[in-house]
């Protein structure tokens, strides 16, 4: 596998979801991550001539697996997803838990358990590509709403991504939420020059109809308030100078829920 030949295609699905395909021309391996809708995937596969070999699932929510059955049936791809979803997602052929490594063609992919948004949420990390797909856990300038876990669980998951993903990791995720996240982030971290610059960039990209993703871990660590609970400026702005990082995160997430 020549890493320089690997192609990653991102395309819109549904109203604000993304589809992602990872293709290695040397081996013919093509991996889909989540399937909000089968039609956009089938269109890209038809356009490129790629043969889908694998599908990775991040979690069970309908807007990530709605097209899974159709895409699996039409392509014969192997489906891997969270063990906790085994009884919920009937198409799963292989399941993983936190820390498991799976092979898809030449790619070794690490399953990082990041519960909070849902209990089964997996983030997929491709070390050889310096790329991760964080599902609905980490967004650009945001994080997922907590449906099945709790605030402490989500903070633990985000902290795990901070520890495990190098700064130069490209981050793909489930939704185009960055503009709304930017507006909220500025209320939490108003004096952050890097955030102001990113917010302006996001406005320009969206005005031109260009996706704001992928982002990078480095960019998120500098601008995403949900990863910056230890930042003195944020703590002062929130009046939480002596709080724990988990408490600061909880306040930020609660404010976002009520925004």
pLDDT tens, residue by residue, 2-38: 677 999 999 999 999 999 999 999 999 999 999 999 9
Tell whether the model's pLDDT for residue 227 goes beyond 80. Answer: yes
pLDDT tens, residue by residue, 123-181: 999 999 999 999 999 999 999 999 999 999 999 999 999 999 999 999 999 999 999 99
Write down the H helix ranges in the chain. 38-48, 62-65, 68-75, 151-164, 178-188, 193-207, 217-223, 232-238, 245-258
Distance from C-alpha of 124 to C-alpha of 110, rounded to nearest angstrom: 6
Question: What pLDDT score was predicted for residue 31?
Answer: 98
Question: What pLDDT score was predicted for residue 43?
Answer: 98
- Nearest Cα neighbor of 22 from 89, 188, 75, 48 is 48
């Amino acid at each position: 596998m020549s890493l320089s030949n690997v192609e990653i295609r991102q395309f819109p699905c549904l109203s604000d979801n993304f589809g992602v395909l990872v293709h290695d021309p040397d081996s013919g391996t093509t991996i889909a991550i989540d399937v909000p809708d089968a039609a956009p995937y089938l269109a890209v596969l038809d356009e490129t001539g790629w043969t889908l070999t694998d599908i990775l699932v991040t979690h069970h929510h309908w807007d990530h697996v709605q097209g899974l059955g159709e895409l699996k049936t039409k392509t014969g791809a192997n489906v891997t997803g969270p063990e906790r979803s085994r009884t919920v997602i009937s198409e799963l052929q292989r399941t993983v838990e936190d820390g498991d490594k799976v092979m898809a063609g030449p790619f070794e992919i690490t399953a990082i358990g990041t519960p909070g948004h849902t209990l089964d949420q997996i983030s997929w990390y491709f070390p050889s590509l310096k790329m991760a797909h964080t599902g609905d856990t980490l967004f650009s300038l945001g994080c997922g709403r907590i449906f099945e876990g709790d605030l402490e669980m989500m903070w633990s998951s985000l902290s795990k991504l901070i520890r495990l993903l190098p700064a130069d990791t490209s981050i793909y995720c489930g939704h185009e939420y960055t503009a709304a996240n930017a507006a909220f982030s500025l209320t939490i971290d108003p004096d952050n020059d890097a955030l102001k610059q990113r917010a302006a960039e996001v406005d320009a990209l969206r005005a031109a109809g260009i996706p704001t993703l992928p982002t990078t871990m480095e960019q998120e660590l500098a601008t995403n308030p949900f990863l910056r609970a230890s930042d003195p400026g944020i703590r002062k702005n929130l009046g939480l100078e002596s709080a724990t990082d988990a408490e600061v995160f909880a306040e930020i997430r609660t404010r976002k829920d009520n925004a």
